[in-house]
A and B are shown apart, each in its own frame.
Chain A
Amino acid sequence: MNIVVCIKQVPDTNEVKLDPKTGTLIRDGVPSIINPDDKAGLEAALVLKDRFDAKVTVLTMGPPQADKALREALAMGADDAILLTDRAFAGADTWATSMTLAAAIRKIDYDLIIAGRQAIDGDTAQVGPQIAEKLELPQVSYVKELDRDGDHLFITREFEDRMHKIKLKMPCLITTLAELNEPRYMSVAGIMDAYREKEVTTWTRADIVIDDAALGLKGSPTRVKKSFTKAVKAPGKKYDVDAAQAAQIILDNLKEKYII
């Protein structure tokens, strides 16, 4: 069984602070992590590997620094890692990103593609589903539970007000929720292997078959017109009261606004 896991290196938003003057994110010195939903996807792949002897390939598109995220995936137990990196890929929106990733995946043997639901720095939840569309694969998003029997996956999909139980034939694509599992740590031996035994394969523009017009900023239909921080309209009300009075005030306010 061959599994491709798409991951994204993101700034650890728990560590990101806002610049009080400009209201923008201060990214300098913020540690980078594997996006949590993607890490759950990787763990799901590694569990399948533990149980069914799968080969797990991790794939990311990003700057050369994304090497570290791939090494971390290798240190957790992934077998192969591919870094898609080229100036031509820069400025890609979700459309161009999924086009590029799909072009790379066409070169890899796969039965299952796993992507995290969404990245904590973009929150679009679009890249996984778009890859499936471009590869014309069946897909199930928001996977909360996962099992496998033969060439079928048995999935619990989280929906707004219900769960879906789905049987899905491979090859296919799923997107995973961080709640799916508790990802393992890297192991000491895994870290040594990630740097000394295993390799991160780098693919550039020349290594994938894709139309130039589909790449990077040029290939991105999304145009950001303006980005801004929502201004605070008025200061909140402050009450210096005991807990019982505080509860009453909250209750009254919620009722007043017809929230409860």
Chain B
Amino acid sequence: MNFDLSKEHLMLQEMYRKFTETEVKPLAEEVDEEERFPVETVKKLARYGFMGIPFPKEYGGAGADNLAYAMAVEELSKACGTTGVIVSAHTSLCAAPIYEWGTEEQKQKYLVPLAKGEKLGAFGLTEPNAGTDAAGQQTKAVDMGDHWLLNGSKIFITNADYADVYVIMAMTDKSQGTRGISAFIVEKEFPGFSVGKKEKKMGIRGSATCELIMEDCIVPKENLLGKIGQGFKVAMKTLDGGRIGIASQALGLAQGSLDETVKYVKERKQFGRAIAKFQNTQFQLADMDTKTEASRLLVYKAAKKKDAKLPYSKEAAMAKLYASEAAMEVTTKAVQLHGGYGYTREYGVERMMRDAKITEIYEGTSEVQRMVISASLLK
């Protein structure tokens, strides 16, 4: 058993940190405050290969692995949860299912520009009446002979109005239940496709979260992803991978808020000495660090299992469950240790606390993760 990162991963970490410090951190507050999607950062992320980290070079990727990808989301999220989720949703929820389930033609047409970062990806599963109960899909896809006709809407879609390509779930046969769901690759330009209202959110406010609307949306026959009726499987497997991304985002938020707190408690003086000298501060920091490190071990383990092509669904669920709840706890303590200043928007920790909350909810709530984990025990 070896906990050391390889030379490549150490160098990647060094590069991610430098990039984050220089390109991401200075924008984090503004992106949150103005609820602005950081288009300029996404261009730079594309230039340096962040948008296709775990995909082979022949498909436009960087030829690295899922650990390298998880570490990227972690480092970006240390400074900006918004930037972390842009990369995570694009990579795990759109490029990955096309890589896993797509035909060679689909990979050439869609994965290559996605992995190069020339196009941005998104994923549509959730509907107003189908959240955790994903089988309650109301979006319908009808075979019209020479094309598919999609009707319905999706909500809470990350990257929505900035994405070019979407992986969309729709019912092809309602009578079959989950086996009646199919996956489709939909382009923003397809007739009948539009982006609806943008959500006003508590956190990750720079991330564009919108509704997707399909009204007689014409999708070419060849854009079915996987086989007819495989959509639920595609979605569930995709979310397994996505959980590594969100767990990494949560890990980054926890580490980022801890780093800010360590700096702050050394500077802030009360009763004539730095608050770092008080045992309460020390004990809080110890707990924050321990939980963050435990999250990291779970996240990296899930990523390594995926890289080894071993089953990783349970590990990804554990990583996401633990890292997201740890992120909520650590960022809340970070605000507490910052006191009144922590509650102001001058310091980044309140933003991290707001950003952390969503990691317990999206891509499977903490409750869903507990279902996945216990199901593996009780099967």
Q: Which of A's residues lie within 8 Å of B, judged by CB?
A: 68, 71-72, 75, 185-196
Contact = CB atoms under 8 A, between A and B. Distances in A.
30 contacts: A75-B11, A185-B15, A185-B19, A185-B48, A187-B48, A187-B62, A188-B12, A188-B15, A188-B48, A188-B49, A188-B50, A188-B53, A188-B68, A189-B49, A189-B57, A189-B61, A189-B62, A189-B63, A189-B64, A191-B8, A191-B15, A191-B64, A193-B63, A194-B8, A194-B11, A195-B6, A195-B7, A195-B8, A196-B8, A196-B63
B114 to A, nearest CB: 15
Give the interface residue-count category, chain B.
20 to 34
Contacts of B18: 185
Nearest to A186: B15
Interface majority SS (helix, strand, loop, mixed), chain B = helix
Nearest to B69: A188
Contacts of B68: 188
A30 B134 CA distance: 52
A225 to B, nearest CB: 39
A188 B64 contact: yes
B11 A72 contact: yes
Interface string B34-74: 00000000000001111001000100011110001000100
A191 B19 contact: no
Contacts of A71: 7, 11
A199 B68 CA distance: 21
Contacts of B11: 68, 71-72, 75, 186, 191, 194-195
Contacts, number: 53
Task: List the 6 closest A-B pairs by CB distance, nearest first.
Answer: A188-B49, A188-B62, A189-B62, A187-B49, A186-B15, A195-B8
B19 A192 contact: no
B15 A192 contact: no
Which among B47, B48, B50 has the greatest number of chain A C-beta atoms within 10 A? B48
Interface in B53-104: 53, 57, 61-64, 68, 72
Given A72-B11, A75-B11, A192 B48 contact: no
Contact of B63 (A185, A186, A192): A192
Nearest to B57: A189
Contacts of B15: 75, 185-188, 191
A93 to B, nearest CB: 31
Contacts of B61: 189
Contacts of A68: 11
Contacts of A194: 8, 11
Contacts of A196: 8, 63
Contacts of A75: 11, 15
Contacts of A189: 49, 57, 61-64
Nearest to B47: A187
Given A185-B15, A185-B18, A185-B19, A192 B62 contact: yes
A191 B14 CA distance: 11
Nearest to B54: A188
